[in-house]
């Protein structure tokens, strides 16, 4: 029976089965192919108008520009909606990108229709139909905040800023480690990212934890991002085993510290709840009500 080779100088040396990180799951782009397809109609519109007059070409270029801008806004809107759906506490997107994309698509269709059929009724109908089809296919943006009951706007803005910065640093870590072309290290970074996102979700559920987690989601993640960039540069050039071992140790320490801090925040939240319950019971007893 064939056996997998492994030894002292194997890339996986020193990593037992219990310590091996789970394979990283690639994060699917929420925009997907259906959003990217919306960039296509502008191309044939422009090329088929090159031999027309100056007015027709200007109209075609205007319609193509509106469609392209609409497709770009749609892609960003789908990504913002996916981030909104993933979070338990989230604010509605500040800019309704998907609805703006629907309006731009309708305007582009109206101008393209006017190019071949001047008038008012036909372009208006084409524009309204395109707008309605676009809105039906892709939906509209979230219009209200989620899970924000009892949280003041100032506190919510603080949490949103810290979470956005943390997610940006995690994304930059993922981009940097891909340059190292080391699948095992990509998996290890993915495991750490999941641990950090557990803390992020905890802070989103209870913004009072932000003070305790801010150093982790700011300073520590910034250091982890910088260390990942440096490791990727060194590993891609020299395949330095010592640098790899040091980086693995750093990721393990960070994962342990983030997980420990998250467990402590959850325990503190549970303790706060227990105190509130006990205080309420005491008050009920003083009022002569038996809970």
Domain membership flag for residue 20: no
Spatial CA neighbour of 58 closest among 167, 66, 26: 66
Binning pLDDT at 50, 70 and 90, where does residue 287 land? low
Mark whether 179 and 247 lie in a shared domain.
yes
Mark whether 105 and 167 lie in a shared domain.
no
Residue 241 lies in domain: 153-286
Task: Supply the DSSP string of 24-83, one letter for each residue.
Answer: PPPPPPSSHHHHHGGGSTHHHHHHTTTTS-HHHHHHHHHHHHHHHHHHHHHHHHHHHHHH
- According to the model, what pLDDT value does residue 130 have? 94
- According to the model, what pLDDT value does residue 278 have? 59
Mark whether 258 and 216 lie in a shared domain.
yes
Mark whether 167 and 128 lie in a shared domain.
no
Question: CA-to-CA distance for 101 and 70, rounded, in angstroms?
Answer: 4
Structure tokens at 60: 């075609």
- According to the model, what pLDDT value does residue 73 have? 94
Domain membership flag for residue 212: yes
Residue 181 has pLDDT above 70, yes or no: yes
Higher per-residue pLDDT: 215 or 103: 103
Question: CA-to-CA distance for 256 and 192, rounded, in angstroms?
Answer: 9
Helix (H) or strand (E) holding 184: helix 183-205
Mark whether 190 and 82 lie in a shared domain.
no
Spatial CA neighbour of 64 closest among 102, 96, 98, 111: 111
Mark whether 176 and 269 lie in a shared domain.
yes
Residue 17 has pLDDT above 80, yes or no: no
**Among residues of the chain, what percentage have pLDDT more than 90?**
36
Spatial CA neighbour of 111 closest among 71, 39, 55, 52: 55
Residue 162 has pLDDT above 90, yes or no: no
Binning pLDDT at 50, 70 and 90, where does residue 125 land? very high
**What does the pLDDT look like over 241-258, one tens digit per residue?**
899 999 999 999 999 989
Binning pLDDT at 50, 70 and 90, where does residue 6 land? very low
Spatial CA neighbour of 67 closest among 31, 37, 41: 41
Rounded average pLDDT over 135-149: 81
CATH of the domain at 273: 1.20.120
Mark whether 60 and 126 lie in a shared domain.
yes
Among 89-103, 177-191, 206-220, top mean pLDDT goes to 177-191
Three-class DSSP category at 142: coil
Give the count of domains, the chain: 2
Binning pLDDT at 50, 70 and 90, where does residue 163 land? confident
Higher per-residue pLDDT: 88 or 144: 144
- According to the model, what pLDDT value does residue 18 have? 41
Residue 133 has pLDDT above 90, yes or no: yes
Binning pLDDT at 50, 70 and 90, where does residue 16 land? very low
Mark whether 173 and 270 lie in a shared domain.
yes
Contacts of 201 (CB under 8 A, 6+ apart): 87, 88
Residue labelled with tokens 């640093």: 169
- According to the model, what pLDDT value does residue 112 have? 92
**Chosen domain end from 138, 170, 200:** 138
Q: What is the mean pLDDT of the chain?
A: 80
Mark whether 170 and 124 lie in a shared domain.
no
Range name among 42-51, 203-212, 279-288 with the lowest pLDDT average: 279-288
Residue 69 has pLDDT above 90, yes or no: yes
Mark whether 261 and 193 lie in a shared domain.
yes
Domain membership flag for residue 8: no
- According to the model, what pLDDT value does residue 283 have? 57
Spatial CA neighbour of 84 closest among 212, 222, 204: 204
Question: CA-to-CA distance for 92 and 81, rounded, in angstroms?
Answer: 9
Domain membership flag for residue 146: no
């Amino acid at each position: 029976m064939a056996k997998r080779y492994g030894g002292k100088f194997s890339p996986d040396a020193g990593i037992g089965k219990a310590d091996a990180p789970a394979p990283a799951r690639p994060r699917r782009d929420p925009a997907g192919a259906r959003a990217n397809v919306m960039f296509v109609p502008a191309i044939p519109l422009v090329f088929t108008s090159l031999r027309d007059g100056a007015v027709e070409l200007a109209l075609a270029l205007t319609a193509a520009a509106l469609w392209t801008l609409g497709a770009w806004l749609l892609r960003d809107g789908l990504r913002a909606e996916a981030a909104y759906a993933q979070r338990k506490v989230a604010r509605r997107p500040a800019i309704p990108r998907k609805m703006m994309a629907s309006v731009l698509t309708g305007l582009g269709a109206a101008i393209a229709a006017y190019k071949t059929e001047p008038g008012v009724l036909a372009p208006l109908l084409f524009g309204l139909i395109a707008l309605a089809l676009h809105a039906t296919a892709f939906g509209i943006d979230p219009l209200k905040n989620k899970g924000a009951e009892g949280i003041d706007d100032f506190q919510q803005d603080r949490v949103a800023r810290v979470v956005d910065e943390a997610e940006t640093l995690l994304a930059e870590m993922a981009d940097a480690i891909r340059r190292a072309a080391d699948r095992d290290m990509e998996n290890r970074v993915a495991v750490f990212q999941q641990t950090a996102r557990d803390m992020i979700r905890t802070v989103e559920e209870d913004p009072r934890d932000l003070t305790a987690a801010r150093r982790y989601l700011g300073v520590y993640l910034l250091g982890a991002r910088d260390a990942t960039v440096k490791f990727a540069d060194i590993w891609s050039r020299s395949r330095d085993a010592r640098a790899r071992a040091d980086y693995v140790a750093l990721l393990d320490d960070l994962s342990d510290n983030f997980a420990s801090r998250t467990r402590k925040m959850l325990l503190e939240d549970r303790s706060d709840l227990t105190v509130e319950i006990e205080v309420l019971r005491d008050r009920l007893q003083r009022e002569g009500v038996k809970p």
